[in-house]
Amino acid sequence: MSELDLMHVSPMIIPTVLIPFTLVSVALTVVASFIAGLFGIKLKTEGPKRLLELLLKPKILIIAAVSNVFIYAGIKGYRYLSDYPSFIWTIEKANKDIENKTWTMGELEKNRAISILTEPVATKNQNIVDVEVIWKKSIDGGVFAKPSRKGDSIFVSSMDKNIHQMNLSSGKLERKFRIGAMGTSSPAFWKNYFFVGEGVHDTHHARVYKYDLISSQLVNYYQTTGHTEGSVRVGSYQGIDLVFAVAGEDGIHAINPETMQTVWQDHPGHMDAGVVIEDGVVYVGTGRTKDDSKKHKSFALAYDFLTGKQLWKRELPNSSWMPPAVTKKYACYILGEVYFKNEFGGVYCFDKKSGDSKFILSSTESFIGSPEKVGDSYYFTSVEGTICKADFENKEFSWCTKTEVPKRAYSPASYDHFRDVVLYPGTTSGLYVLSPVTGEIIYHWKPKDWEPNYAGVLVTEKGWILSSMKGTVELVIPKVQTLRTSL
């Protein structure tokens, strides 16, 4: 290996690099000669001058310019291919391993029944005194999105380009479904299928995949020109089902779940926030990305479910990177920047029918966690680890609680209906258990091996599923002292 290889320098860029250095050398030589002349010393300057003359010849300049064009094109081409998802044939090849790992219709029906039977029960005000780890497993990639549940299985999107289906009770790996880029969105279920997006901010031409839970096979996919890291949503109105995906600069897509064809699309700005669907209206926000300029604006939008017609569009003072909170009266959009320094955040509320501006619940911190709906209230989280409970009827935060987060936090809060507590996993500071009434931290679990958590907590009747950016997935159960039980 040559010295240039060790230095990671291409010979083709040497002519261009040498020109400015030679100019500097000539300038320094001239200055040095002048100073030396003051003392009667004569210096030779022929070397640098001759080198500069050589490098400034038209032939050398043309070779340098052409070489750098090719180098630049090569670098851009490499980055383009690196940010493109795996080809479909490679995904299908990887999925050959799960051809024999199928669900029968009976198993599918059983898991549908479990999903219904495990709806939260009203056991209230339990005092958490300890946390016990039931099982703990490692997968090959980190977990950014909250796992989804289907019966006694959880589906975990991972940075290793797989959706891991794991048994809720034991943690046993049941199946892996391959996708084309990093798994950063939560799977959404429909009939005997699930849909999931992919990619990070630099990914382009990301897809939404449709997998058959019975056959384990990739049935179809939908391709965008952006990234589909925002979680897919499935909605229904007037007997029509649609899949909704957001794709960065490629906007919002309404997709026919049977054919995986476009029903409607709009691109009013950069969209990473999942949508909220209510009464035939689709609510979503836009944000300013890292390569954006201050000239670009963020918007709150409402669309007709069936046609994609914009019902209203309102400018926002900040980006809105997560799904809005929709109440009986209002559509409230999270405010917070990720790519720009900002000391203003909160929630901006509009009349959900007319889009008229109503009020802002403001904060000095950017709100970034996906909102958690509990009754008429919502829980929000900030990049600095603050959890706030919003009371939209009284137009105020009922409480805000600061946690110890030494690094930027992205986790949402989760409400445990079974134990009547709010859960918040800090980036590096462990799991916080809070009172939903007062926001008081009633228990703080910080094991020595705690790993960064951005996904939040998946709440089940069996306990809490925690998943980390280092690929650890675990089921923990709280040990409680019941204070009161309500019917």
pLDDT digits (tens, 9 = 90+) for 186-230: 999 999 999 999 998 889 999 999 999 998 999 999 999 999 998
pLDDT at 124 (0 to 100)? 56
Percentage helix, strand, coil, to 5, in the chain? 20, 35, 45
CA 179 to chain centre: 16
Q: Check pLDDT > 60 for residue 105.
A: no
How far, CA to CA in Å, does 206 sit from each of 33, 223, 226, 274?
A: 61, 6, 6, 16
pLDDT at 106 (0 to 100)? 60
Q: How far apart are CA 106 and CA 104, in angstroms?
A: 5
CB 285 within 8 A of CB 251: no
pLDDT at 4 (0 to 100)? 33
pLDDT at 36 (0 to 100)? 46
pLDDT at 56 (0 to 100)? 64
Q: Check pLDDT > 70 for residue 406.
A: no
Predicted structure pTM score: 0.83
pLDDT at 19 (0 to 100)? 52
> What are the tens digits of pLDDT across the range 18-76?
455 555 555 656 655 554 454 455 545 555 555 556 556 777 678 777 877 888 788 87
Q: Which among 290, 322, 285 has a CA at the least distance from the CA of 413?
A: 322
Q: Check pLDDT > 70 for residue 484.
A: no
CA 245 to chain centre: 13
What is the CB-side half-sphere exposure of residue 14 using CA atoms within 13 A? 9
Q: Give the other-Cβ count within 10 Å of 98's Cβ.
A: 18
Q: How far apart are CA 68 and CA 115, in angstroms?
A: 59
Q: Check pLDDT > 90 for residue 425.
A: yes
The helix/strand count (H/E) of the chain reads as 6, 32
pLDDT at 34 (0 to 100)? 54
Average pLDDT over residues 242-246: 97
> What are the tens digits of pLDDT across the range 108-144?
555 554 443 334 444 455 678 889 999 999 999 999 9
Print burial letters for 381-419: b (CB count within 10 Å at least 16), e (below 16). Answer: bbbbbbbbbbebeeeebebbbebebeeebbbbbbbbbbb
Q: How far apart are CA 436 and CA 61, in angstroms?
A: 70
Angle (nearest 5°) at CA 337 between 332 and 341:
145
State residue 445 phi and psi, 5-degree precision. Answer: -105, 115
Least confidently predicted of 55-64, 88-97, 210-219, 441-450: 55-64
Taken in order 141, 146, 149, 152, is the CA torsion positive or negative?
Answer: positive
Q: How far apart are CA 64 and CA 58, in angstroms?
A: 10
**Three-state SS at 276:** strand
Q: Side chain identity at 130, as an amino acid letter?
A: D
Average pLDDT, the chain: 84
For the beta sheet containing 173-178, the strands, ordered from the edge strand earlier in sequence to the opposite edge, are: 148-150, 153-157, 162-167, 173-178
State residue 107 phi and psi, 5-degree precision. Answer: -65, -40
